[in-house]
Amino acid sequence: MEKVLPIILLAGADKNTQDDFKNIVKDKYSIMSADNEYECFNILTNHKIELVIVALNVQIMDGLDFLKNLAQDSRYKNIPILAIVTYGDLDSVSLAMELGATEFITTPFSEIIINCRIRNVIAHSQQAEKDKRISEMNRYIEIDSLTGLYNRETFYEKAAKLIHDNPEVQYCIVYLDISCFKVVNDLFHTETGNLILKTAASYFLKKINPQVGVSGRIEADHFVLCVPQDTLDMDRLIKEIDDTIRTLGISHNILFFAGVYPVIDMNLPVDQMCDRASMALNKIKGNYARRYNFYDVGMRERMLKEQMIVRDMEFALKDNQFTIFLQPIYRPETNEIVSAEALVRWFHPESGMISPGYFIPVFERNGFIVKLDRFVWETVCKFLRSRLDAGKKIVPVSVNVSRLNFYSYDLLIFLLNLLKKYDLEPWMLKLEVTESAYTDNPQQLIKIINQFKENGFPILMDDFGSGYSSLNMLKNIDIDVLKVDMAFVREIEHSERARTILLMIIGLARELGMGVVTEGVETQTQLDYITNMGSVDIQGYYFSKPLAVKDFVALFDKYDSLATQV
């Protein structure tokens, strides 16, 4: 049987071009030529054309006009178009591309280029067509196969219908997420993760009457509900879902968190309503005391501010808008400043000083933190070098190493190069690591921290006790100093429990040969409690706030001269 070749429509080519062209593509394609627009459309209507090639190198017909009319006809919008132009005729290339040509080829023809380009253009368009079909098909598959809930697209559709069909009802979009689901999946394997998702889904299916509300799973462990506000009792919902999951008897504490968007603006597309609910949820992520949060208008403003931060960050770094402040770390026993922590500050030309509490989380989300941290480390090294050059005393300065850094293959090399460049020793630069880095990827962190240690860098564990895996991390990693989370100090006067834990931490540290820094000491009473518990260093407003470098130097030199007088 004769093979059916894909058909190419060759429009407006002169005899020579046609012959050259046919010669090149020979047995791979069948060519249909036409030299006026009417004929072209006639062929397009009556044959399955895979590719249209329009000759703009000769004036047989108005090829550009044909391109324009072809682009306007939606029946042919999926057929790729190649333009033939004379080599160097860039004007025709740009006009043709503007009018909808996919690619171009130049005369005189090169056999290899033409065959390659035709193949690529056709393959690309077939792939695009396939992708479109798949996504259309997915739309028809309404149900998420794992949980039996509506999938994302269907949820959007059903929720939109519900909201619009019942304008008198005040609806809420609830966006739910399981804390540390990734960890649960890793610890207990995917089947357990799946079981949790299915159990949660069956709870939602039972809980939500399909006449009045809809539920869906929009990705991984993210569930969404659309329910009338007067049927929504968030405390109860969270409690019931927790209880349901607890019946599975999984040893890890599985908690649901939620963000709620009361549908104020009915005309907002449902995906954006979900974004707002998710935004409300993000505000309480990592804060285990609050399990759900309602969206408020201020959030949108904050989001816009966040966009400003992202827009300006690269320029700000080049423009030296970032600087470091140094907060002294003080040893009450000897009345000395024994160290300092470098904390970044952003002096924005319009917004003034922006607090790191504001922009660091944004940078941690978009990855810019890696650049900024490196800038801070280098600034610290420069500072230390300038002190040494001036023949002044120094204390080690600690820097924050945000968790994203541990994904950079050249982290250690970068730090070692800094030491070399500024001729410093590793004890002078202490590295503060938080346990979130450990939760992300324990094996990787252990490996890198060991390398740091081998190279002589002191390691501090920041915000110790604020999360879940602090003790785990301690068991597996050789830490030099624990920085006790501020929350303990804040509670110290009122909570027996906080005092007991703090005492235990100090005892534990001593036994393991680690130092302790308590953060956030603000009052004499707090200081008294702490100094009675053992020998610890303190970092807090009581002794000093973070200071501009020159103010730090002044304070440091004052204490140093006091010490030398004794």
Task: Give all strands (DSSP E) within 501-559, no chain letters.
Answer: 515-519, 537-539, 547-548
User: What's the DSSP call for residue 322?
Assistant: E
Report the nearest approach of Ca ion to the CB of residue 539 (Å).
8
Nearest CA to 244 out of 208, 205, 200 is that of 200
State whether the Cα torsion 537-466-324-412 is positive or negative.
positive
The binder of 546, among ligand C2E, Ca ion, none, by C-beta within 5 to 8 A per type, is ligand C2E
Asked if 400 is part of the footprint of ligand C2E (rule: CB under 6 A), the reply reads: yes
Q: Which two tokens stand for residue 480?
A: 């030099």
**245-to-207, 240, 248, 253, 469 alpha-carbon distances in Å:** 14, 9, 6, 9, 22
Q: From CA 50, how far away is CA 8, in angstroms rounded?
A: 6
Asked if 402 is part of the footprint of ligand C2E (rule: CB under 6 A), the reply reads: yes
Nearer to ligand C2E, 11 or 309 (CB): 309
The binder of 431, among Ca ion, ligand C2E, none, by C-beta within 5 to 8 A per type, is none
Per-residue binding string, Ca ion, 427-446, x by CB under 5 A, is -----x--------------
With CB under 5 A as the contact rule, the residue among 144, 462, 509, 539 that binds Ca ion is: 462
Q: From CA 338, how far away is CA 330, in angstroms rounded?
A: 6
Q: From CA 485, how far away is CA 462, in angstroms rounded?
A: 7
The binder of 360, among ligand C2E, Ca ion, none, by C-beta within 5 to 8 A per type, is ligand C2E
No. of helices (H) and no. of strands (E), the chain: 20, 20
At residue 65's C-alpha, the angle toward residues 64 and 71, to 5°, is 90
Report the nearest approach of ligand C2E to the CB of residue 128 (Å).
42
Quick check: helix, strand or coil at residue 361? helix
With CB under 6 A as the contact rule, the residue among 357, 454, 511, 532 that binds ligand C2E is: 357
Report the nearest approach of ligand C2E to the CB of residue 105 (Å).
52
Helix axes 90-98 and 63-72, enclosed angle (nearest 10): 20
Nearer to ligand C2E, 277 or 343 (CB): 343
Q: Which two tokens stand for residue 9?
A: 């429509």
Asked if 546 is part of the footprint of ligand C2E (rule: CB under 6 A), the reply reads: yes
Nearer to ligand C2E, 2 or 410 (CB): 410
Asked if 520 is part of the footprint of ligand C2E (rule: CB under 6 A), the reply reads: yes
Q: What is the 3-state secondary structure (H, E, C) of 54-111?
A: EECCCCCCCHHHHHHHHHHCHHHCCCCEEEEEECCCHHHHHHHHHCCCCEEEEECCCH
Asked if 105 is part of the footprint of ligand C2E (rule: CB under 6 A), the reply reads: no
The binder of 344, among ligand C2E, Ca ion, none, by C-beta within 5 to 8 A per type, is ligand C2E
The binder of 12, among Ca ion, ligand C2E, none, by C-beta within 5 to 8 A per type, is none
Q: Which two tokens stand for residue 209?
A: 């009457």
- For 171-197, b/e burial (b = at least 16 CB within 10 A) is bbbbbbbbbbbeebbeebeeebbeebb
**Stretch of residues binding ligand C2E (CB under 6 A), selected from 90-98, 199-207, 353-361, 423-431:** 353-361
The binder of 402, among Ca ion, ligand C2E, none, by C-beta within 5 to 8 A per type, is ligand C2E
Q: From CA 125, how far away is CA 78, in angstroms rounded?
A: 7
Asked if 332 is part of the footprint of ligand C2E (rule: CB under 6 A), the reply reads: no
Near Ca ion in 357-396, by CB under 5 A? none
**510-to-60, 385, 506 alpha-carbon distances in Å:** 91, 33, 6
Element (H, E) at 51: strand 49-55
Asked if 336 is part of the footprint of ligand C2E (rule: CB under 6 A), the reply reads: no
Element (H, E) at 25: helix 15-25
**Stretch of residues binding ligand C2E (CB under 6 A), selected from 71-79, 100-108, 508-516, 539-547:** 539-547
* Binding residues for Ca ion, total number by CB under 5 A: 5
With CB under 6 A as the contact rule, the residue among 72, 94, 190, 355 that binds ligand C2E is: 355
**Stretch of residues binding ligand C2E (CB under 6 A), selected from 76-84, 112-120, 304-312, 513-521:** 513-521
Report the nearest approach of ligand C2E to the CB of residue 493 (Å).
14
Report the nearest approach of Ca ion to the CB of residue 432 (Å).
4
Asked if 544 is part of the footprint of ligand C2E (rule: CB under 6 A), the reply reads: no
Q: Which two tokens stand for residue 464?
A: 């110790």
The binder of 343, among ligand C2E, Ca ion, none, by C-beta within 5 to 8 A per type, is ligand C2E
Per-residue binding string, ligand C2E, 409-448, x by CB under 6 A, is ----------------------------------------
User: What's the DSSP call for residue 150?
Assistant: B
The binder of 373, among Ca ion, ligand C2E, none, by C-beta within 5 to 8 A per type, is ligand C2E
Asked if 541 is part of the footprint of ligand C2E (rule: CB under 6 A), the reply reads: yes
Asked if 537 is part of the footprint of Ca ion (rule: CB under 5 A), the reply reads: no
Report the nearest approach of ligand C2E to the CB of residue 522 (Å).
4
Which residues are 33's β-sheet partners?
Answer: 10
Asked if 463 is part of the footprint of Ca ion (rule: CB under 5 A), the reply reads: yes
Q: From CA 130, how far away is CA 125, in angstroms rounded?
A: 9
Report the nearest approach of ligand C2E to the CB of residue 401 (Å).
7
Report the nearest approach of Ca ion to the CB of residue 370 (Å).
16
Using alpha carbons only, how large is the chain's radius of gyration in Å? 33
Nearer to ligand C2E, 50 or 463 (CB): 463
According to DSSP, the β-strands at 222-228 and 481-484 are unpaired
User: What's the DSSP call for residue 485?
Assistant: -
Q: From CA 425, how far away is CA 455, in angstroms rounded?
A: 10
Q: Which two tokens stand for residue 69?
A: 């009319």
Sequence letter at residue 61: M
**Stretch of residues binding ligand C2E (CB under 6 A), selected from 147-155, 385-393, 471-479, 536-544:** 536-544
Q: From CA 466, how far away is CA 435, in angstroms rounded?
A: 9
Nearer to Ca ion, 224 or 431 (CB): 431
- Residues of the shown chain interacting with Ca ion in the complex, contacts defined by CB under 5 A: 400, 432, 462-463, 519
- Residues of the shown chain interacting with ligand C2E in the complex, contacts defined by CB under 6 A: 327, 343-344, 355-357, 360, 369, 373, 376, 400, 402, 462-463, 519-522, 539-541, 546
